[in-house]
Amino acid sequence: ESNSPTTAAIKVEHPFTHPLLPPIDACVRAENGIYHVYILNERKQWILANYKYINYDEFIKDFTLISKMIVDGPLQSFCHRRLQYLKTKHELHTLLNEVKEWSEAKSASHRDFYNVRKVDTHIHAVAAMHQKTSLNFMKKKAEIPSDMILFCIYIYTLNSNRAIVSLKK
């Protein structure tokens, strides 16, 4: 037996059997095109997370390897044949099981993906109010003090755990 990729056994894994990782309080922020991860400390302050990452040389080495694999003719042929095989296998599965799957979908009427009612969200905002009505609305809102709080958004920001929105902001 050779160790070529065409004769190697394919390991079948079921992705939904693995347990999910627990959620963490984290925030991702781009700074100069580089993404940084921030986590909450004990005092509820955002601090830069100490995650390991690869250095530039290792990235370039991996990128070069992947680029060489992309232009490799025999590998492209193998991948194309493999994808055609998987596509044909899926089509065969669909042909053999479509009646069974359709009857299962019909039996659960409250969970039917195919009979979802369409909701019309198309609105004509131009017809919502006339120019004079819009002007009166803006004048009325201009009389309200600018520091009046309109609503609070409870999201994690880098400085605090909520953002307050007022007319002034």
Contact yes or no for 132/117 (Cβ under 8 A): no
Q: What is the pLDDT of residue 66?
A: 94
Distance of CA 88 to the CA centre of its chain: 29
Query: By 3-state DSSP, what share of the chain in percent is helix, strand and coil, each rounded to 5?
Result: 40, 15, 45
Contact yes or no for 142/25 (Cβ under 8 A): no
- For the chain, give the number of residues: 169
pLDDT over threshold 60, residue 36: yes
Instruction: Name which of 22-31, 37-46, 144-153 the model is least confident about.
Output: 144-153
pLDDT over threshold 60, residue 24: yes
The predicted-structure confidence for 75-96, as pLDDT tens digits, reads as follows 999 999 999 999 999 999 999 9
Q: What is the pLDDT of residue 9?
A: 65
Q: Any idea what the Cα angle at residue 94 is, between residues 88 and 96, rounded to 5°?
A: 105
* Whether this model's pTM surpasses 0.85: no
Element containing residue 59 per DSSP (H, E)? helix 56-70
Would you kindly state where each structural domain of the chain is located, as residue ranges? 130-166
Q: How confident is the model at residue 115 (pLDDT cuts 50, 70, 90)?
A: low
Contact yes or no for 38/27 (Cβ under 8 A): yes
Contact yes or no for 148/167 (Cβ under 8 A): yes
pLDDT over threshold 50, residue 163: yes
Average pLDDT of every residue of the chain? 77
Contact yes or no for 47/27 (Cβ under 8 A): no
pLDDT over threshold 90, residue 62: yes
